[in-house]
Structure 1
């Protein structure tokens, strides 16, 4: 499913690929804070071994799931 919103800023993606991504996020140190589908703020829990994020309307996302891709 295409990403409609920037997961770090919550702003709508314009399709041009020009989105502000914090340096910590580019390094993989910052978890996503906003849902890619609806732009709502997610509940994020940072653990010693990664993070988990949950949208009230959509699925949960876990850093361990992204490592398996």
Structure 2
């Protein structure tokens, strides 16, 4: 996977500052596909999260406490 877009704000990685986005991503799941910038369907559970892009599939993460 080649990240072209910020998966938090959806803006291109080459424009703007994304330090705030990186900080937010430590606690939140991605909202945008980093490859195509589409808004993803995100489901958060006590055990982690899933984020589904209609083009690039599902990304998942498991909570460290699980």
TM-score range, shorter chain: 0.7 to 0.9
Please, what TM-score do these two structures have when normalized by structure 2?
Answer: 0.78
Q: TM-score, normalised on structure 1?
A: 0.75
Work out the number of aligned pairs and report it: 62
Distance 2:22 2:13 in 1: 16
Alpha-carbon offset, residue 48 of structure 1: 0.4
Aligned alpha-carbon RMSD (Å) = 2.2
Structure 1: unaligned runs, 5 residues or longer: none
Q: Which structure 2 segments of 5+ residues have no match?
A: none
Structure with the largest fraction of strand: 2
Structure 1 stretches (4+) deviating beyond 4 angstroms? none
